[in-house]
Amino acid sequence: MVSGVSALDARGQGEVTPTPDALYARREESGFAARAAEAWAARLAAAPTDFEAAWKLSRARYYLGTNGPADGRRAALDAGMAAARTAITLQPSRPDGHFWLAANMGALAESFGLSQGLKYRKAIKAALEEVLRLDAGYAAGSADRALGRWYHKVPGLFGGSNQKSEQHLRASLTYDGQSTASWFFLAETLEDLGRKADARAALQKVIDSPINPEWAPEDRRWKARAKARLDALAR
């Protein structure tokens, strides 16, 4: 393969066919995330032991479940969990499946009401703690970032804690000090702790951090949200 595409298409006409990775890199464009998911699903169907296809399918479905058409988001997240569980079955000692299982469950918990949040809260925490056990630095501290979010979102009665949220978010920033997601989540936690000046400083970090080419669509969204929140705090 060259430059993220296969050499010839199946018809032998010399047309290049984007790889699933190349399609996913363009996920911000309409239809590309769905095409990536379809490609990884086909690859996994053809090779049921393909661990990479399983966890990348889960990641693509998470994106569709959080950014795709509203009427298909729930189904995408359910399918994302299924793909993640396949990845865990194939390679339980790798963090990828555990992390994307937690991500898909977390999106369900945040987007589909209190009952879903309560249903998945223990499983989300367990999956993220397993990622920390296997590889604390996975995806630039993403498990600590997600646990920071977990502790912020879960009510204190069920284990939530803004103090623990801050601890995990600051831990994630030791792996990537320019993570827009970590700084944004930290700003929310600091605001709830009553530390408005610190929250504004964290939001400014989101705005000032360079865009990571690997996470450009997500970085652009966090920057837009940070600017809107910073403007609101200034009123």
Please state, rounded to an integer, the average pLDDT across all residues of the chain: 93
CB 128 within 8 A of CB 99: yes
Look at residue 11 and tell me whether its pLDDT is greater than 50.
Answer: no
* Domain boundaries along the sequence of the chain: 15-135, 136-235
> What is the number of residues in the chain?
235
pLDDT tens digits, 198-229: 999 999 999 999 999 999 999 999 999 999 99
pLDDT of residue 151: 97
pLDDT tens digits, 40-90: 999 999 999 999 999 999 999 999 999 999 999 999 999 999 999 999 999
pLDDT of residue 143: 98
Look at residue 12 and tell me whether its pLDDT is greater than 70.
Answer: no
Asked if the domains at 15-135 and 136-235 fall in one CATH topology, the answer is: yes
pLDDT of residue 84: 98
Fold of 136-235: 1.25.40
Angle subtended at Cα 160 by Cα 235 and Cα 134, rounded to the nearest 5 degrees: 115
The region that residue 227 occupies, defined by phi over 0 for left and psi between -120 and 50 for alpha, beta otherwise, is: alpha
pLDDT of residue 112: 86
Give the CATH H-level superfamily of domain 15-135. Answer: Tetratricopeptide repeat domain (1.25.40.10)
Q: Give CA–CA dist 235/232, Å, rounded.
A: 6
pLDDT tens digits, 142-171: 999 999 999 999 999 999 999 999 999 999
Look at residue 126 and tell me whether its pLDDT is greater than 60.
Answer: yes
pLDDT-derived band of residue 117, with 50, 70 and 90 as boundaries? confident
Give the CA distances from residue 173 to residues 11, 178, 185, in Å, rounded to whole numbers and listed in that order. Answer: 48, 7, 11
pLDDT of residue 105: 97
SS3 per residue for 6-62 = ECCCCCCCCCCEECHHHHHHCCCCCCHHHHHHHHHHHHHHHCCCCHHHHHHHHHHHH
Please report which residue ranges of the chain form alpha helices under DSSP H: 20-25, 32-46, 51-67, 73-90, 95-111, 114-135, 142-153, 162-173, 180-192, 196-208, 216-234
